[in-house]
Structure 1
Amino acid sequence: MLRLTALHLDNFGPYKGRQTVTFPSEDGVTIIYGENMRGKTSLLNAIRFAFFGRILGRGRRDAALHLVGNWEEAKDRNVYGFDVRLDMTYDGIKYRLTRSFRPRPGIKTPEDDADYEQSHFLERDGIPLGPHQTKTELERILPEQISRFFLFDGELLQEYEDLLVAESDMGPKISEAIERILGLPLLTNSRDSLSAARERAEARYSRAAQGDQKTREFGNQLTSLQEERAVLVADLERQETELDELRKQKTALEEAMRKSQRLASLLDKRDGLERELVELRAKLQAKRSDIGSSMSTAWSALIVDKMKASLAHLRDRETQLQTALIRTAVLQSLSLEGQTTCPACLQPVSDSARQHVHDSLVQHGGLAGAAEEQELASIRRKIDALSKSVDAANPEALRLKWQAIEQDDRDIYSRQNEIKSLTSQIEGVNEDELRRTRSDFELTIRQISLLEQGLSDTRDSLQHNTNYRENIQRKLDRFAGSSFDVERKRSVLAADLEKMFTEGIEVFREQLRKRVEADATEHFRQLTSEADYAGLRINDSYGLSIVHKDGTGIPVRSAGAEHIVALSLVAALQNNAPLRGPIIIDSPFGRLDTIHTNKTVAAMPNMSRQVIVLVYEDELPPVRAREGLGKHLKAEWKLERRSARHTELVLRKD
């Protein structure tokens, strides 16, 4: 088992100068208290740097090492870079790992990582090891691929939720890491070796078949198919590598977008306001053109009453002229010889009625003629012109138009102010780079989709190739006892061994899943406060879902529940892993309530033989930690502030 005994820091992050934190040799829990920005995450990264030469920032991305050196030492004494030394034991052997990050010779004021050089060496029982031995030993002590199960924080715990999401990019990586820590690669590597042996046996088999006249054609086909398979396998490996790189790129771009999400939101809002501004200005221009036309007749509002009186007089005169012209037409019609019926109603007209119409016309001015028709046409033109002027002389409509223009002016002014404010908030941001990140993300998504389709097609082609080869081999099997019979038996034996290992791996994998499920359920029951939860159910990707006591799954889980499930999984993996080591966790209680925090504290000694917890006191008050851990609490350290860039490691004795 791996156990950490001491961590020595020299100008690493806020830890100015040389400082050391020691860890008890007894099984139990060490708690390091520190407020926000005091250096808890820096301690976790110091351990990570010692092992792997890298540190992680937000989003699990590599952070610039140049920015890790102590700022005060660089500013006051022109001292750049840092050293980390890690003392540990592994299977009873003492190791001392030292890793440095110092400016290159001749560089007095380094500006980025390229201005530094990194070096490291490992001592085993006081004896320095060479570079190759160091690499081999470190990979044996703590492979980086499984370090997530020993060095983690609340953010990493959230990633375990991806094990339940089929289309997740991170899920397959976590599943692979889980199987690695459980020791499955020992079997899969053996299976791969047997696959290679089978392919060599099949190649010899096909060459032997080519040498026999009876089976030469089959042998040629088999050789051709094997060559095709080699091309397909190489293509599959290339596509899988490209897909893995694209998924890493997608993850990095997603984090970059999350990191700049607020800025992106501000940019989107500003762009939307600018579009609205263009539309408002276009509408305002149209309204001003319309009111310009309306203003050309605005004078009519001053004499609208006189125009209405004149309009009423003209309409009365129009009625008189229309009546006269109609009656004249009727009388003229009745005056025609033989006309005894009314042309309008087709009723008989007597002489007395005809005389009455004539007298009425005389009384009202006589018979109407061409002069009256001309007057009527003139009056109608005047009525039309006056009606338009009266309609245009609507002061309320004009007022509403002016109000609409004034509102648009205010809206434009308001949006201009908002744009100005947003611009000041994103001042200094490389907008082109931000938009390029979005564009790159969309392009990466499309590339991933195309590559996934390509992988599917390649796998289909490989399956078709396998089926075809098996068909030819069955035909060759008919020639038992021939000169290539020995090669055939070797090929069959290699295939049977590969099949046996493949099936055995699946059986062992299922057994591992069941053991992990059982242990995770036991830890979950210790951690949860919900009596109706019966336990956890595991899927093929080692994702864990909560099971109700009635046997149904819990479809929607809170952030706290996800946190508890993730902790249960980590503890179960520790129980079942051939490689055992310490759990170093940063801020594990951020998503938990008081009850679940207490239960998690009490369960920590069962998660690993050495647990190191980095918390702030409000997250886990010392009194609660001591009550919950009792004799399992082996040491308490505190990160004391000396300045914004200077933290001291102090052993608590109170």
Structure 2
Amino acid sequence: MLRLTALQLTNFGPFKGEQRLEFPTDDGVTVVYGENMRGKTTLLNAIRFAFFGKIIGRGRRASSLHLVSNWESTEEGEYGFEVGLEMTYEGHSYRLIRSWRPRTGAVPTCDEDYVGNHYLERDGHIMGPQPAEEELRRILPEQIARFFLFDGELLQEYEDLLHSDSDMGPKISGAIERILGIPVLTSARDSLKAAQDRAEQRQALAAQGDQKTREFGNQLASLHAEREVYVADLARHEEELEVLRAEKAAVEEEMRKRERTASLLDKRDRLEKDVMGLRDRALTQRSNLSASMGTAWAVLVTTPMAKASEKLKARETELQTVVMRTHVLKSLAGASHADCPTCLQPISDEAKARVREELERAGGAAGADEEQELSDVRRRLDAIKRHLAAANPDALRLQWDALEQINRDIYEKSNEIDELTRQLTEGKDDDVRRLRGAYETVIREIKVLEDGVEATKTKMIENAVFRDNIQRRLDRLAGGSLDAEGRRVKLAGDLYALFDEGVTVFREQLRLRVETDATRHFRALTTEPEYKSLRINDSYGLTIIHENGSEIPIRSAGAEHVVALSLVGALQNNAPLRGPIIIDSPFGRLDGAHRAKIVEALPDMARQVILLVYEDELPPARARAALKGRLKAEWNLKRQSARHTNLSPRDGDTA
């Protein structure tokens, strides 16, 4: 497990001179108190800079390092800064020093006027540059740092996991799989796929050396070369897409800062959520219609079935009369008493004799055929009733009308989205026009690349089909060296298929474990007793489930916050890499009851938790009451001037 033990700053942001923040070695929570603009976010960025040599500003974009130097120090002619981070990991102690100093003789005005440098000590020994980089990537890969170093803005991004068409969703879900260790398995699977490709290429080469298989060998070699081109194109397109999506997110963030476009963006976001909800409803409605259409044929024969039903009912009445009369006659003929059971009048011997004669004329078994026919008639009536019940054209029409209305709503809202997008790409203000032009361009480029990716994937599928066909033909003509190569291809293919299935099964098991742990954290964090659980999707997005089993379609900002924290806790529980959770201003969108629950639950999410808060957000007395012995340290960010903050341990209730 990764544990931070100390952070040392030199002229970093508002922290002038050398200042040191020490973290307890025991499991628990450290709270750092500071008012707005005192340096809480700077502390988070200091840890990020130590690990990765960068800091992040608003909109999750990298910020200029030139602006990080302490302002008072730069006025005194001292430029640059340094961050030292002390930590333990897997039984070793580390000291990471990263600095940002001006070039010799330069008075810096931008990032290019500086030189960055860093070194890593392990157990007191300085590691070489390459081993140090590898060690840092092992301790905390940058791709998963979002699950250890985050603020309220980053927590908002987790909502994108619920939407398959979001830009950030795939990136976040990829990071989730990375922290869960899935890339280790997928890399092994990809290695087996590469081994299978090499085996097929060897087989193609062997086939080219045989007269009867040469043509197939040439075709197979050509298809393999074609596939390599497709794979390279796909990788390049996906890299370009990631860059473009990041550009789109950055442009959107800039546009949100413009008052005139903010409302348009918000409205478009709401409409996009509405459209996604309508599409889900449309899928459900189509599923219901599919089930209803299974018996829709009955509508075409409703009239004949109704007429047949009337005839059968009339025949049923006739047969019931015959059967009942026969039963009465048999009862009277065999009665030992002298009175009629119906009218209670005496029955004479003459009358009994006439009844027996009537029964003998009917063969002595009158009513047996009628009873069988009556049973058949009733079965046919039941079948017709079932089909008539299913043949409900009015209900079917209502279902179709509902689907058409949903589609109309989707069409109308999509047109509104298109119109808003058009408005976002128009304007008279030069700056806004520039942003909107960039936005329109990046959307167009993303669409072109996405179309290219889909086209390449289709070609790869066709290529695989052709290769499989040739492979089967070669197997029928195999002999000599082709037999050995064929066995190698089959073995590699079987191993790849086995490992691919194993990855799928393991991924599903991990998702269910994350869902279970996220639900446990959520139930501990939420103040709504009717919220029963969380349901996970393929992208690790979490939906709140009501106690009646229905989904909560619209969530407040506070609910999103609680769900995101639940996901972070679940990932910490299931990831092979464990580390501290460092949160900047985590309670901004939460009420007092939720804050109390989260503070109490945080120590169960990670063994080391560092909270960067202001006192109104989390009063010290409340923190101590909620955390008790799990509160291990408190620190203050004390103002010296607008550009100078001092770090100091908090002593009791002293501010």
TM-score category of the 2 structures, normalised to the smaller one = 0.7 to 0.9
TM-score by length of 1: 0.74
Indicate whether 1:192 and 2:195 are aligned.
no
Alignment match, 1:521: 519
Q: In the TM superposition, what is the alpha-carbon distance from 1:479 to its structure 2 partner?
A: 2.0
Indicate whether 1:47 and 2:47 are aligned.
yes
Alignment match, 1:127: 125
Distance between the aligned counterparts of 1:136 and 1:234, measured in 2? 26
Alignment match, 1:648: 646
> What's the secondary structure of 2:502's corresponding residue?
helix
> What's the secondary structure of 1:45's corresponding residue?
helix
Q: In the TM superposition, what is the alpha-carbon distance from 1:110 to its structure 2 partner?
A: 1.1
Q: In the TM superposition, what is the alpha-carbon distance from 1:232 to its structure 2 partner?
A: 1.1
Alignment match, 1:362: none
Q: In the TM superposition, what is the alpha-carbon distance from 1:481 to its structure 2 partner?
A: 3.7
Indicate whether 1:496 and 2:494 are aligned.
yes
Q: In the TM superposition, what is the alpha-carbon distance from 1:78 to its structure 2 partner?
A: 1.1
Q: In the TM superposition, what is the alpha-carbon distance from 1:239 to its structure 2 partner?
A: 1.1
Distance between the aligned counterparts of 2:592 and 2:203, measured in 1? 68
AA of the residue aligned to 1:605: P
Alignment match, 2:243: 245
Distance between the aligned counterparts of 1:454 and 1:145, measured in 2? 26
Distance between the aligned counterparts of 1:129 and 1:534, measured in 2? 51
Distance between the aligned counterparts of 2:86 and 2:127, measured in 1? 15
> What's the secondary structure of 2:646's corresponding residue?
strand
Contact 1:589 1:619 in 2 (8 A): yes
> What's the secondary structure of 1:89's corresponding residue?
strand
1:447-485 residue CA offsets vs partner (Å, 9 max, x unmatched): 111111111011000000101110111111112444411
AA of the residue aligned to 1:209: A
- From the superposition, tell whether residues 506 and 635 of structure 1 become closer, same or farther in structure 2 (CA, over 3 Å): same
Q: In the TM superposition, what is the alpha-carbon distance from 1:254 to its structure 2 partner?
A: 1.5
Contact 2:255 2:262 in 1 (8 A): no
- From the superposition, tell whether residues 267 and 202 of structure 1 become closer, same or farther in structure 2 (CA, over 3 Å): closer
AA of the residue aligned to 1:98: I
1:96-150 residue CA offsets vs partner (Å, 9 max, x unmatched): 000111111011x311111111110011111111100110110011010000000
> What's the secondary structure of 1:580's corresponding residue?
coil
Contact 2:19 2:647 in 1 (8 A): yes
Distance between the aligned counterparts of 1:634 and 1:265, measured in 2? 43
Alignment match, 2:259: 262
Distance between the aligned counterparts of 2:496 and 2:566, measured in 1? 35
> What's the secondary structure of 1:484's corresponding residue?
helix
Alignment match, 2:23: 23
Contact 1:69 1:81 in 2 (8 A): yes
Q: Percent identity?
A: 64
Distance between the aligned counterparts of 2:430 and 2:136, measured in 1? 43
Distance between the aligned counterparts of 2:229 and 2:141, measured in 1? 32
Indicate whether 1:592 and 2:585 are aligned.
no
AA of the residue aligned to 1:79: E
Flag the structure with larger Rg: 1
> What's the secondary structure of 2:567's corresponding residue?
helix
Distance between the aligned counterparts of 2:429 and 2:56, measured in 1? 26
- From the superposition, tell whether residues 197 and 266 of structure 1 become closer, same or farther in structure 2 (CA, over 3 Å): closer
Alignment match, 1:65: 65
> What's the secondary structure of 1:590's corresponding residue?
coil
Distance between the aligned counterparts of 2:156 and 2:147, measured in 1? 13
1:285-334 residue CA offsets vs partner (Å, 9 max, x unmatched): xxxxxxxxxxxxxxxxxxxxxxxxxxxxxxxxxxxxxxxxxxxxxxxxxx
Aligned pairs, number: 490
Q: 2:166 aligns with which of 165, 168, 179?
A: 168
Contact 2:44 2:582 in 1 (8 A): yes
Q: In the TM superposition, what is the alpha-carbon distance from 1:553 to its structure 2 partner?
A: 0.8
Q: Map of 1:192-591 to 2, 5 A cutoff? A: 192-259=190-257, 261-262=258-259, 432-591=430-589
Distance between the aligned counterparts of 1:621 and 1:265, measured in 2? 34
Distance between the aligned counterparts of 1:510 and 1:171, measured in 2? 18
Indicate whether 1:111 and 2:109 are aligned.
yes
Alignment match, 1:4: 4
Distance between the aligned counterparts of 1:22 and 1:481, measured in 2? 71
Contact 2:192 2:492 in 1 (8 A): yes
1:433-455 residue CA offsets vs partner (Å, 9 max, x unmatched): 44222101111101111111111
Q: In the TM superposition, what is the alpha-carbon distance from 1:560 to its structure 2 partner?
A: 0.5
Unaligned 5+ runs, structure 1: 269-429
Distance between the aligned counterparts of 2:638 and 2:487, measured in 1? 72
1:346-388 residue CA offsets vs partner (Å, 9 max, x unmatched): xxxxxxxxxxxxxxxxxxxxxxxxxxxxxxxxxxxxxxxxxxx
Distance between the aligned counterparts of 1:432 and 1:211, measured in 2? 67
1:517-558 residue CA offsets vs partner (Å, 9 max, x unmatched): 000000000001111111100000000000111111111111
Contact 2:256 2:262 in 1 (8 A): no
Contact 1:212 1:483 in 2 (8 A): no
Contact 2:3 2:579 in 1 (8 A): yes
Distance between the aligned counterparts of 1:19 and 1:638, measured in 2? 12
- From the superposition, tell whether residues 267 and 249 of structure 1 become closer, same or farther in structure 2 (CA, over 3 Å): closer
Alignment match, 1:279: none
Q: Which stretches of structure 1, 4 residues or longer, exceed 4 Å deviation after superposition?
A: 263-268
> What's the secondary structure of 2:628's corresponding residue?
helix
AA of the residue aligned to 1:595: A
Distance between the aligned counterparts of 1:186 and 1:35, measured in 2? 43
Alignment match, 2:88: 89
Alignment match, 1:100: 99
Q: In the TM superposition, what is the alpha-carbon distance from 1:431 to its structure 2 partner?
A: 5.2
TM-score by length of 2: 0.73
Contact 1:642 1:648 in 2 (8 A): yes
Contact 1:49 1:55 in 2 (8 A): yes
Alignment match, 2:273: none
Indicate whether 1:80 and 2:79 are aligned.
yes
- From the superposition, tell whether residues 440 and 517 of structure 1 become closer, same or farther in structure 2 (CA, over 3 Å): same
Distance between the aligned counterparts of 2:120 and 2:261, measured in 1? 46
Contact 1:184 1:509 in 2 (8 A): yes
Distance between the aligned counterparts of 1:267 and 1:156, measured in 2? 22
Alignment match, 2:35: 35
AA of the residue aligned to 1:57: G
Contact 1:517 1:536 in 2 (8 A): yes
- From the superposition, tell whether residues 431 and 19 of structure 1 become closer, same or farther in structure 2 (CA, over 3 Å): farther
Alignment match, 1:607: 605
Alignment match, 2:379: none
Unaligned 5+ runs, structure 2: 266-427
1:11-70 residue CA offsets vs partner (Å, 9 max, x unmatched): 111111111110001000000000000100000000000000000000100011111111
> What's the secondary structure of 1:97's corresponding residue?
strand
Distance between the aligned counterparts of 1:192 and 1:533, measured in 2? 41
